[in-house]
Amino acid sequence: MMNSEKKLPLQPVRGTHDIFGDTLRRQHNLYDLCQRLGSAFGYQLIETPIFEYAGVFQRTLGDTSDIVGKETYTFLDRGGEEITLRPEGTASIVRSIISNGLAQNLPLKLMYKGPMFRYERPQKGRYRQFHQFGIESLGFADPYADVECIALGVEILSQLGIAARLEINTLGDFESRQAYRQVLVSYLEKYVQSLSADSQIRLQKNPLRILDSKDAGDRKILEGAPVFDAYLTPAAQAFYERVHHGLDLLSIPAHHNPRLVRGLDYYCHTAFEIVHDDLGAKNTLLAGGRYDGLMEQMGGPAVAGVGWALGVERLASLLQGSPAVERPFAVVPVTEAEQGFALQLVCQLRRQGYGAELCYGNNVGKRMKHANKVMARLALILGPDELVNGQVVVKDLDTGQQQVVDTDHLGGYLANH
């Protein structure tokens, strides 16, 4: 009889990937560095669910954004609720602050990490399930808060030895954007038939988002568009100048990019990206900006906010060499008779905080191969004589040197090796 049962695909879903070995170790080392430096800057770790009610993102990211319009994984759960896998972290963090009444504890400096989900064309360093580390400073209206945020990102890249370039722009205050919106619309209406379909829709709903268009035709039209700088209010201009002054004080070079626009609706004032030229068109390592109106937009109090997120896969791909791995001690029984004591010794070493591996095999040669395979630095060899005499033969697997050590003194010996 033919087996009609459909075979399960044995590959990961397109745009996802399994992470293991050196790749996973690089990513965890990156997380460790980010959290250590984040703590030094005063940030505390927070975790939010990987899915939210769809409205959390639809209300905050904007229905004309690519993320909401094309990229979110949104579905109805069994209870009929519309759910979205989180495409970014900021909206979830702000929702969490409101939900848990944390606004009364402002100001807050929070950091987060974990998977995000966007349905987009997979390519090098860009996946449909990807990982981010991010920070959010809430309740800080001073421009120097923007500077501190940027300084943390720069410090992370500096300690990783990655040369990158800071690009920065201002999206101004509400009055600045309203003034610029009018002149931008007047300019773009002359080219409406040549704009991409997405930009034609944005021209009616959110024309400033056209500045973020990746369409080649749109980019050509935008080359002659009015520049935002000329329409900044004095207050917005002063804010931006103070950001630059703070960066100068910290000797952080910044390139003013008047076309830099963050792709989400909640940004204002400072927008920035840190880019790496060796990554091709998708060269952004870290991006963020100020979002003073977001919490109020979500139903909370009016609170200033600024933050950024970095792409873990993309940044980890630039790290060179194999990450350091702690080498264990290998416990090698010569015969089956010593295996019980070897098991006890392995567990004792682990309780003392050492990495330890019990080597299996049907002869001592295979057990030594096991020790080499796990990259052990010392082999603790137990034979019949050692078991009777309360001793262990300690072999250095790098030099081949051996030494007999009493089991009573083994802890002190290993502490010095």
Q: Does the bond joining 107 to the residue before it have cis omega, within 30 degrees of 0?
A: yes
**What's CA 292's distance to the chain center, in Å?**
23
CATH of domain 21-173+233-316: 3.30.930.10
Query: How, if at all, do strands 74-76 and 255-256 pair?
Result: unpaired
Token reading at 409: 């003194």
Calculated CA dihedral for residues 39, 51, 262, 190, nearest 10 degrees:
180
Q: Look-up: residue for tokens 């416990």?
A: 331
Q: Look-up: residue for tokens 């005063």?
A: 42
What pLDDT score was predicted for residue 1?
A: 44
Which amino acid type is present at position 243? V
Show the beta-strand stretches assigned E in 79-195: 82-85, 108-117, 129-138, 165-170
Tell me whether residue 107 is exposed, middle or buried, using C-beta atoms within 10 angstroms of its C-beta: 0 to 12, 13 to 18, 19 or more.
middle
Phi, psi of 152 (to 5 degrees): -65, -45
What pLDDT score was predicted for residue 321?
A: 80
Q: Where are the domains of the chain?
A: 21-173+233-316, 329-415
CATH of domain 329-415: 3.40.50.800
- Spans of the chain below 70 pLDDT: 1-5, 59-70, 125, 262-266, 278-282
Which amino acid type is present at position 252? I
Q: Give the up-direction half-sphere exposure of residue 360: CA atoms within 13 A in the CB hemisphere.
A: 0
What pLDDT score was predicted for residue 136?
A: 98
DSSP character at residue 266:
T
Q: What is the pTM of this model?
A: 0.87
Phi, psi of 132 (to 5 degrees): -130, 155
Residue of 122, 127, 124 lying closest to 87 (CA atoms): 127
Phi, psi of 75 (to 5 degrees): -155, 165
Which amino acid type is present at position 341? F
Residue of 176, 181, 224, 220 lying closest to 203 (CA atoms): 181
What pLDDT score was predicted for residue 316?
A: 92
Residues 337, 345 contacting (CB under 8 angstroms): no
What are the CA-CA distances from residue 222 to residues 17, 142, 185, 366 (Å)?
Answer: 37, 32, 12, 68
